[in-house]
Structure 1
Amino acid sequence: MSKVAGTTALMLFLWSVFVHFGRLSSLGVNELLYFRVISPEEISYIFSAAPAKDFGGHFKSSYDEIFLVPADPADGCSDLSNKEIINGQVILVERGGCSFVQKAQRVQEAGGKAVLIADNAEDNDSQYLDMVTDGSTDKPSIPSLFLLGRDGMMIKRSLQRQALPWAVISIPVNVSALASFPLKQPPWTLW
């Protein structure tokens, strides 16, 4: 394939991503944050997540290799029992049981660098929710992101199947540099 054809194909792909997200949610492609699972290999894809609307911070640096650790308890609504491996990592929490703010606050108090809150609707592969404050005085400052339910379920299932305590990820990933590495999105998600 020629360089011009490759560039044209990439531009068409990016336009289709933009149109797809414009139809499925109120989020534009530039309002999503992307991360890449490095291991386990069976889920080594680029995933998208939606940042919280009015709480949480932004990534001040990127992490080429950081652990994505499932919270214990999974909903993150009480003290996290796996604090020893949470400190300095990105934490995967399930939606439900308490507010998004409470989940982010618990992860922040346990030393997590960021939180990915996966929808508890495991068949959700396209609808992002707006995570907003709950009216409390808690204002967690770590990046807080909403992850589609199917993506969260597939990550957790892979870790359970292989008896792994975490996945290794890169976050955030600059999708404008897609040409510099192979694009590999989850096969279950329509981009």
Structure 2
Amino acid sequence: MATVPPMAAVVLYLWSFFMRFCPISGLGTNELLYFRVISPEDIGYIFSAAPARDFGGDFTSSYDEIFLVPAAPLDGCSDLTDREIIQGQVVLVERGGCSFVQKARHAEEAGGKAVLIADNAVDNDSQYLDMITDGTTTKPNIPALFLLGRDGMMIRRSLQRQSLPWAVISIPVNVSSLASFPLRQPPWTLW
């Protein structure tokens, strides 16, 4: 019986640990983007989101304070009716009903600077999905990010509870520059 060299055993152990506890569906940790909720304070955490794989743009600038506006309709599968508050802001939509590309296109047409697409599985607190194109030739240019279902639900719930039309966020956030103060991550999500 052959023995596994010690270094190979360590690498194998670390890989199996990563795959068991960090199921990121093909995404590396460095491929996640982070944003911070500034207000409301009850959800004032750093959240992670996965950029779309083959459509949408990149953040060309950082926004220290920008609104995160829940879309109407929430699934973003038709023209958004709240264009006046979406204009120049980040749009929060929910997965389901149509393709990711259609959701991002509707957010862009309404004037959104980016779109966060929250999983409609509200118990999802660890599985990122690969958002891919739907085969259409017209692709949106704004950044499109996949947000965990529990994170999206908690943000929407906080806004509804406080009767707020939006959250104030900072996006993207460089988490490596936050070492000078505690990194506040959602208590329901394991990083």
Q: TM-score, normalised by structure 1?
A: 0.88
RMSD of Structure 2 on Structure 1 (CA)? 1.7
Report the 3-state secondary structure (helix = DSSP H, G, I; strand = E; otherwise coil) of the residue aligned with 2:102: helix
Contact 2:38–2:170 under 8 Å retained in 1: yes
Q: What is residue 10 of structure 1 aligned with on the other side?
A: none
1:4 counterpart residue number: none
CA distance in 2, matches of 1:162, 1:21: 37
SS in 2 for 1:188: coil
3-state SS, counterpart of residue 73 of structure 2: coil
Cα distance in structure 1, aligned partners of 2:62 and 2:81: 27
User: Any conservation in 1 of the 2:128–2:146 contact (CA below 8 Å)?
Assistant: yes
Aligned-residue offset at 1:20: 7.5
Q: Which has the larger radius of gyration?
A: 2
Would you say the 8 A contact 1:40–1:159 is kept in 2? yes
Is there any run of 5+ residues in structure 1 with no aligned partner, and where? 1-14
Report if aligned partners of 1:21, 1:29 keep a CA contact under 8 Å in 2: no
SS in 1 for 2:103: helix
Are positions 1:99 and 2:99 aligned together? yes
2:177 matched to which residue of 1?
177
Q: 1:3-22 CA deviation, whole Å, 9 max, x = no partner?
A: xxxxxxxxxxxx9xx94897
Q: Distance in 2 between matches of 1:172 and 1:20?
A: 26
1:186 alignment counterpart: 186
Shift of 1:77: 0.4
- Give me the whole-angstrom Cα distance separating, in 2, the residues matched to 1:181 and 1:87: 33
SS in 2 for 1:27: coil
CA–CA distance in 1 between the matches of 2:80 and 2:165? 14
**1:180 match: secondary structure:** coil
In 2, Cα distance between equivalents of 1:95 and 1:41:
25
Q: Which runs of 4+ in 1 moved over 4 A?
A: 18-22
Residues 22 and 33 of structure 1, relative CA distance in 2, 3 Å threshold = farther
Pairing of 1:44-83 with structure 2 (within 5 A)? 44-83=44-83
Read off the aligned partner of 1:73 and give its amino acid letter: P
For 2:81 and 2:181, locate their aligned partners in 1 and report how far apart those are by CA, in whole Å. Answer: 37
After TM superposition, list the pairs within 5 Å mapping 1:112-123 onto structure 2: 112-123=112-123
Equivalent residue for 1:109?
A: 109
Please give the alpha-carbon distance, in whole angstroms, between the structure 2 residues aligned to 1:21 and 1:73.
36
- Select the structure that is richer in helix: 1
Amino acid in structure 1 at the alignment position of 2:124: N
> How far has the Cα of 1:44 moved from its partner?
0.2
2:154 matched residue in structure 1: 154
Letter in 1 for 2:82: N
